[in-house]
Structure 1
Amino acid sequence: MIRNTSVVQTIMSRPKVLVTSCDTPIEVVEFLARRCDVTVLPYVSPTEAQVLADLPGHDGVFLYGCADVNSQFFDIAGRKLKVAVAVSTELAQLDVQEMESRDYHVGGTLMHYHTALAQVAVMLLLNARRRPLESCILREEVRTGSRPQFTPVFDHHLRGSTVGIVGLGVLAHEVMTHLLGFDVGKFLLLGDSPKRAYRELVDEFVSFDNILTHSDFIVVTLPLTSETRGLFDDAAFYKMKQNAVLVNVGGPAVVKMSSLLKALHEGAILAAGLDVVDRESVPNYRELLGQPTLELGPRLGVTTNLSSEERCIYAALRILSVLVIRPIMSTPWEL
């Protein structure tokens, strides 16, 4: 019997997966290796050039570090590539329009850190309104004699306040759920029509300008995209209440840092809390650390062991679901 060897080799060959960082959990690499031939780059934080250099010849890519999935990425990968998943919290890493124009499976892992990040949003909101850093500075001035007596810093209550949420999705829902225990007076959500999933939580669906002008506290949950970049600029801050508090747990450059620092310096808003900082727009990071009305916790929300592990596992599952064509179970160890 004559056998078509090329067809047999295609059927029997294992898919090849590129893992872009040697810092990827070994359990995840071993899990992928059960079904695929895995290449792990010898870099903790590879540059985009290093990723692209090893990209050709792989069926799947596990992106754990710096690399934008754009037209250049696809051109270098070639038609052999079937799936790429970014263990990332930023949609900006994925060129959505380019993805839709080509027949590739590409995605991220945004949904696997919402609970942890919602808790960080509440922490930043509480700290920003209670201003513990400012209180510590005042106490130190009293201790050193540069201030005659300690004057307490008065905060603004969440109870009865209006909280505006700029963003939709699971993260926005989680933030509102976590704030329910603080007796918030009203939730405003960005949107022009009621959404069924939020009806029990949200009092009003309003425009961006309405959120800015009526909210005592604003929590940003929007991911970074070309449309959301620089959304909170000078004009936005000067529409906000002077006693308003802004918290950003979304994309870093959604809030324009120069505008935020200006607003804090000039008293346009009371305080802010950031889980993400656009480092490119702040050359001197120490400038932020000296702001008494700015609470910082860079990316605490996605650095818990559980949230990081969940995102890596989910990314591996997405790759295998495309390459080995098997149904996704509740845990990877069941595959």
Structure 2
Amino acid sequence: MNISTFIYVFTLVFTLWLPVIDALSTNMTKNLKVLVSSNDFPDSAVALLEEHFTVLKSRYINFGEEGLNENKQELLNLIPGCSALIWVSHHQITKELLDKAGPQLKIVSTASAGYNNCNLPELKARGIKLTNTPDVLSAAVGEIAVSLMIAAARRFTENLDQVRRGEWEIGFQKVLGQDLRGSTVGIVGFGGIGQATAKRLAGFEVGKFIYTGHNEKPQAKEFNAQLVPLDELLAESDFILLSAPLTDETRHMINKTTLAKMKKNAIVVNVGRGDLINQDDLYDALKNNQIYAAGLDVTTPEPLPKDHKLFTLSNLFVLPHIGSATVRTRNDMAILAANNVINALYGKPLLTPVRL
């Protein structure tokens, strides 16, 4: 048999056996269990996982009181023997849950960009990999960031109250707001969300973009954005966007001291995490008109109690953490989270790993 014939025969045999090999591989991975922490994880991603593994899914939502009570207990019952955990929640991953899982747990795949609730020290100590879902939600969160800027600048809280009361303040100088046109927008956290927001603001004729961070971003050139120290950003910005991750360094970065460095017409918008802001200090600054307004998609806690003092302010506009809440974005996040699990359990490179 010459070499050409051998290659032809080998290729033919391999092609015929490939479906069999794939089937055997799939049957082997069906023994692996994947736990989905919340009952509202998209069906499209569950179906993708079920092609490869045995999927267990909580009957309860993993948010709010239900997540802390019924869901928590069910997860403790379901997780023993699982090889992967898809975390769909703003609640903390507890040491108790990881202890219950056992040593075969290989990966936690969180369906979110942030991962401050994922107990990084415990995951690292146990050799468990962690992934998140950045970038796929940047466009949707950027849209909410722009919406909050407009809502706070144009005094939506006051104006909506007028409409509901049927008592409109009519006059040439009544309820005047601030312009995005010609303004300086300072972005704290010029990653995917910060850049997506800048891209969407371009059509509003913003005067200048500045940002702060540890390093210059090559993408900043697209927006003529300039890297500046935080103090300079606070002093110059008309709009201050918080889109940074929550770390020990960024926790309560907006506080009495930093608020005092802002312009009187400054508007603070937070689409990152609630604890980027000391809310007591923000309340004082808004109540005393030390800054102009604020728009929040994230708070501490979530949900914010309906009798919270922040809701007494007319220069604050609050949304219930809906930054990524579109059909397309949530589905994309779920599919990415599922594919990270598939890659991890097949020994392939992770798509969006978190460095522990």
The TM tier, using the shorter chain, reads 0.7 to 0.9
Between 106-115 and 259-268, report the one with greater CA deviation.
106-115
- Structure 1 residue 115 displacement after superposition: 0.2
Partner of 1:256: 278
The residue correspondences of 1:194-233 to structure 2 (distance < 5 A) are 194-233=216-255
- Structure 1 residue 132 displacement after superposition: 2.8
Q: 1:265 aligns with which of 274, 282, 287?
A: 287
Task: After superposition, give the CA deviation of every residue in 1:153-192 in whole Å (9 maximum; x if it has no partner).
Answer: 2222222211100113111111111111112111111035
- Structure 1 residue 22 displacement after superposition: 2.0
Residue 50 (structure 2) pairs with residue 26 (structure 1): no
Partner of 1:41: 58
Please say if residues 258 and 281 of structure 1, whose CA atoms lie closer than 8 Å, have aligned partners that are also in contact. no
Between 113-122 and 24-33, report the one with greater CA deviation.
24-33
- Structure 1 residue 151 displacement after superposition: 4.6
Equivalent residue pairs, number:
319
- Structure 1 residue 73 displacement after superposition: 4.3
The residue correspondences of 1:292-303 to structure 2 (distance < 5 A) are 292-303=314-325
Q: In structure 2, how many angstroms separate the alpha carbons of the residues matched to 1:133 and 1:264?
A: 13
The residue correspondences of 1:66-77 to structure 2 (distance < 5 A) are 67-69=91-93, 71-77=95-101
Please say if residues 249 and 276 of structure 1, whose CA atoms lie closer than 8 Å, have aligned partners that are also in contact. yes
Partner of 1:167: 189
- Structure 1 residue 249 displacement after superposition: 0.7
Task: After superposition, give the CA deviation of every residue in 1:100-154 in whole Å (9 maximum; x if it has no partner).
Answer: 444222122233211011011111101111113323546778949xx89785222
The residue correspondences of 1:46-195 to structure 2 (distance < 5 A) are 46-47=67-68, 48-65=72-89, 67-69=91-93, 71-137=95-161, 143=167, 151-191=173-213, 193-195=215-217
Please say if residues 344 and 350 of structure 2, whose CA atoms lie closer than 8 Å, have aligned partners that are also in contact. no
Q: In structure 2, how many angstroms separate the alpha carbons of the residues matched to 1:125 and 1:118?
A: 11
| Structure 1 residues not aligned, in runs of 5+ | 1-7, 330-335
**Against the structure 1 CA distance between its residues 218 and 32, is the aligned structure 2 distance closer, same or farther, given a 3 Å change threshold?**
same
Between 44-53 and 295-304, report the one with greater CA deviation.
44-53
Q: In structure 2, how many angstroms separate the alpha carbons of the residues matched to 1:285 and 1:108?
A: 34
Percent identity of paired positions between Structure 1 and Structure 2? 31
Q: In structure 2, how many angstroms separate the alpha carbons of the residues matched to 1:20 and 1:141?
A: 43
Which of these two proteins has the greater Rg computed from alpha carbons?
A: 2
- Structure 1 residue 16 displacement after superposition: 0.9
List, as ranges, runs of 4+ consecutive aligned residues in structure 1 with deviation greater than 6 Å.
139-142, 147-150
Q: In structure 2, how many angstroms separate the alpha carbons of the residues matched to 1:143 and 1:196?
A: 50
Please say if residues 109 and 311 of structure 1, whose CA atoms lie closer than 8 Å, have aligned partners that are also in contact. yes
Q: In structure 1, how many angstroms separate the alpha carbons of the residues matched to 2:270 and 2:29?
A: 49
Task: After superposition, give the CA deviation of every residue in 1:63-84 in whole Å (9 maximum; x if it has no partner).
Answer: 1235534655443322201111
Please say if residues 142 and 150 of structure 1, whose CA atoms lie closer than 8 Å, have aligned partners that are also in contact. no
Q: Tell me, what secondary structure is at the counterpart of 2:258?
A: helix
Counterpart residue type for residue 147 of structure 2? M
- Structure 1 residue 235 displacement after superposition: 1.2
**Against the structure 1 CA distance between its residues 120 and 102, is the aligned structure 2 distance closer, same or farther, given a 3 Å change threshold?**
same
| Structure 2 residues not aligned, in runs of 5+ | 1-24, 352-356
Q: In structure 1, how many angstroms separate the alpha carbons of the residues matched to 2:114 and 2:50?
A: 27
- Structure 1 residue 204 displacement after superposition: 2.1
